[in-house]
């Protein structure tokens, strides 16, 4: 799924992602950035993510133009 970073605290790793489809908010899982290209997140940054069993955002990654649903792609 796709969303936007609402908040992120680099010192604690806590953050919130807002899902595009229904504007639901999901906390970041403790391992959300493990194995990703992200070292830091910024407010408003677009990401693709999965939800873990606790409905937390995990496996954050960059999306391609197709993943992000860019018009004309």
The domain spans of the chain are 2-61
pTM (2 d.p.): 0.82
pLDDT tops 60 at residue 66 = no
CA 18 vs CA 1, 47, 51, 72: distances in Å: 10, 10, 12, 24
CATH code of domain 2-61 = 2.40.50
Percentage of the chain lying above the pLDDT 90 cut: 73
pLDDT tops 60 at residue 69 = no
Q: Work out the pLDDT band at 72, boundaries 50, 70, 90.
A: very low
Q: Work out the pLDDT band at 36, boundaries 50, 70, 90.
A: confident
């Amino acid at each position: 799924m796709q969303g936007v970073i609402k908040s992120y605290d680099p010192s604690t790793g806590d953050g919130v992602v807002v899902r595009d489809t229904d504007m639901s908010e999901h906390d970041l899982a403790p391992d959300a950035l493990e194995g990703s290209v992200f070292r830091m997140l910024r407010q408003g940054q677009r990401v693709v993510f999965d939800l873990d069993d606790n409905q937390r955002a995990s496996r954050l990654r960059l999306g391609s133009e197709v993943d992000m649903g860019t018009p004309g792609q």
